[in-house]
């Protein structure tokens, strides 16, 4: 929840408005639309010209900020099943271009879901080695030395919708700034919203082999009996 100060449109409010324009949805917040600052009335005086008191700057801290992002800045790769040759596990890393998008102290990013560009893959219960924690529910930022998780996926059996369809997976998440409205939180949210890398490519599964039907073989006539002798 983000506290709104009646004395001005805070820095975090401006960032949240920009995130909203990029497709993010706020959790329990009402700051997607900027609000107008309240004007401080002039105080008349008989001995001096009227003056206007300046509004103080917004508080650097306050209630915690929670922002839902439809796509997190990630990188990684997918591993294939050796038998089906379909991707079965995606290694997801927090990878960013800007230093400001590195997760600072007091900020946590929880992976809440995943999405695919086509109905070719879906989330699965198994498929990964278990060497890294599962992505759904994983929190980036708690362990600074471990910013990797695994996403188990499986083919749905559906072919790509078109030959030009690029198969990718993206993950969504929630950014929690536990210290509230701070300069670090503001800079981080803005930098994350501008990161270009938000998906990991996938390979199209091999098409399923047709089931052989002996009735479809014109050379195999079940009525033929090699023991039959036409001369008999």
Query: Range of 150's domain?
Result: 11-34+60-207
Residue 129 included in any domain = yes
Residue 226 included in any domain = no
Question: What span, in angstroms and rounded, lies between the C-alpha atoms of 137 and 115?
Answer: 15
pLDDT tens digits for 178-230?
Answer: 888 788 898 999 999 999 999 999 999 987 655 555 555 555 555 555 555 55
193 close to 68: Cβ distance less than 8 angstroms? no
Residue 48 included in any domain = no
Residue 223 included in any domain = no
DSSP per position, 126-168: S-S-SSS-BSTT-EETSSTT--EEEEEEEE-SPPPSSTTPPPE
How large is the greatest C-alpha to C-alpha distance in the chain, in angstroms?
138
Residue 65 included in any domain = yes
183 close to 11: Cβ distance less than 8 angstroms? yes
DSSP label at residue 214 = G
Q: What is the pTM of this model?
A: 0.67
pLDDT tens digits for 110-145?
Answer: 999 999 999 999 999 999 999 999 999 999 988 877
Residue 46 included in any domain = no
pLDDT tens digits for 15-49?
Answer: 555 555 554 333 333 222 232 334 443 433 434 44
Residue 24 included in any domain = yes
Element (H, E) at 193: helix 183-193
Number of domains making up the chain: 1
Please, what sign has the CA dihedral across residues 153, 204, 146, 176?
A: negative
Tokens of 59: 């508080």
Residue 101 included in any domain = yes
Angle at 96 between CA 90 and CA 147, to 5 degrees: 50
């Amino acid at each position: 929840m983000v506290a709104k100060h009646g004395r001005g449109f805070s820095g975090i409010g401006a960032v949240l408005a920009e995130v909203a324009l990029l497709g993010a949805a706020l959790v329990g917040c009402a700051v997607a639309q900027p609000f107008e600052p309240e004007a401080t009335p002039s105080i008349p005086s008989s001995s001096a010209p009227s003056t206007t008191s300046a509004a103080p700057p917004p508080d650097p801290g306050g209630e915690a900020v929670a922002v839902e992002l439809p796509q997190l800045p990630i990188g990684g790769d997918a591993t294939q099943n050796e038998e089906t040759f379909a991707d079965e596990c995606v290694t997801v890393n927090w990878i960013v271009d800007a230093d400001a998008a590195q997760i600072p102290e007091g900020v946590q990013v929880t992976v809440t879901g995943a999405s695919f560009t086509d109905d070719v893959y879906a989330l699965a219960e198994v498929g990964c080695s278990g060497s890294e924690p599962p992505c759904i529910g994983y929190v980036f930022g708690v362990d600074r030395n471990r910013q990797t998780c695994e996403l188990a996926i499986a083919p749905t059996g559906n072919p790509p919708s078109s030959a030009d369809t690029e198969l990718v997976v993206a993950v969504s998440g929630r950014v929690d700034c536990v210290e509230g409205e701070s300069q670090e939180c503001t800079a981080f949210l803005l930098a994350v919203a501008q990161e270009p890398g938000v998906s990991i490519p996938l390979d199209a599964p091999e098409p399923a082999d047709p089931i052989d039907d002996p009735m479809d073989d014109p050379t195999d006539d079940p009525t033929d009996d090699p023991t039959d002798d036409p001369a008999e």
